[in-house]
């Protein structure tokens, strides 16, 4: 999960990734609880490697979301596995996710309008 920003393109990627992080995490645990490492890998896989989370960003972000009451974590210990902390959406988190999805859509449309990509 190491980052590597070499070109100008990557500078943009790095910046853009910041704000969408919450939305990604909330979406991924919408249907089932997941642990941090799983979330990080899913984001990388499903984005075709375009989006990657540094673990040093991912875990603190999970703590913040839990502190805000949007997600709730619990430790799960199974034989033959290292202990994992599974996070699930709280009722408050569900509301926030719904609001953020709308916000994301409006945001993308606003940007596209300004940069001339209505058809994107």
Q: Which residues contribute to the site for DNA (CB under 7 A)?
A: 2-5, 11, 14-15, 17-18, 21, 35-38, 53-57, 59-62, 64, 79-86
Site string for a copy of itself, 78-107 (x = CB under 8 A): ------------------x--xxxxxxxxx
Angstrom distances, CA of residue 21 to CA of 37, 38, 61, 64, 104? 14, 14, 8, 12, 12
Looking at 3, 50, 56, 76, which residue binds a copy of itself (CB under 8 A)?
50
Q: 70 burial class (0-12, 13-18, 19+ CB within 10 angstroms)? A: buried
Reading the block at residue 97, the tokens are 């996710």
Q: Residue numbers of the site for a copy of itself (CB under 8 A)?
A: 7-9, 12-24, 27-28, 42-43, 46-48, 50-51, 96, 99-108, 110-111, 113-117, 120
């Amino acid at each position: 999960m190491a980052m590597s920003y070499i070109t100008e393109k990557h500078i943009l990627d790095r910046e853009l990734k910041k704000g969408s992080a919450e939305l990604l995490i909330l979406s991924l645990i919408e249907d089932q609880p997941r642990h941090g490492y799983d979330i990080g890998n899913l984001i990388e896989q499903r984005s075709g490697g375009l989006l990657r989370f540094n673990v040093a960003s991912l875990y603190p972000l999970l703590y913040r979301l839990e502190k805000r009451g949007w997600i709730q974590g619990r430790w799960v210990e199974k034989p033959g596995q290292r202990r994992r902390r599974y996070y699930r959406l709280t009722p408050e988190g569900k509301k926030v996710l719904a609001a953020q999805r709308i916000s994301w859509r409006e945001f993308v449309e606003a940007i596209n309008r300004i940069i001339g990509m209505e058809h994107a």
